[in-house]
Structure 1
Amino acid sequence: MALIDPELLSILACPRCRAAVRPVDSERSLLCAECGAAYLVNDAGVPIMTVDDD
C-alpha cells in the first residue's frame, strides 16, 4: 500500500516554485522535480510542505 495517496500526490506542488513533486526514499519524502527541495512525509502519509521565509 502506498504511503501517500496517489490522488493527493497528483495535485501536490512544491510551495517554493510550484513544480511537480515525486516520492523518494520509499515515499518517506517528496522531491521537487524543478528546484530539488525535499519535504518529509509523516507516518500518517501527510507531506510536511512548509518553507522558511528567510
Structure 2
Amino acid sequence: MALNKELLDILACPKCKSDLQLMNNEEGLKCSSCVVVYPVREEIPVMLIDEAIPLDQWEQGVREKK
C-alpha cells in the first residue's frame, strides 16, 4: 500500500519547513534543503529530526540511526 497522497502534500521538513520528496522505493522522505531522509516505517513517516538519516548514508544503505 502506498503512502496517502493527501498526507504527502501536507508534510514538510520539521527542521526547515521545506517540501519533502518521496523516495522511489517509498522507504523515505527526502529534504533537499537539509540533505536528509526521514524514514518511513510500516507506512508511517518518522518525522523526528533526531531520526533523520543524512542522504549520503541513506544512499549507502543506512536506514536507522545507531
Root-mean-square deviation (CA), in Å? 1.3
Does 1 or 2 have the higher relative contact order (CA < 8 Å, sep 6+)? Answer: 1
TM-score under structure 1 length normalisation: 0.80
Structure 1 gaps of 5+ residues are: none
Task: Report sequence identity in percent.
Answer: 38
Instruction: Select the structure that is richer in helix.
Output: 2
Partner in structure 2 of residue 9 of structure 1: 8
Partners of 2:33 and 2:3 in 1: how far apart? 20
Q: TM-score, normalised by structure 2?
A: 0.67
Tell me the matched-pair count. 50
| TM-aligned CA deviation for residue 31 of structure 1 | 0.1
* Unaligned segments of structure 2, at least 5 residues: 51-66
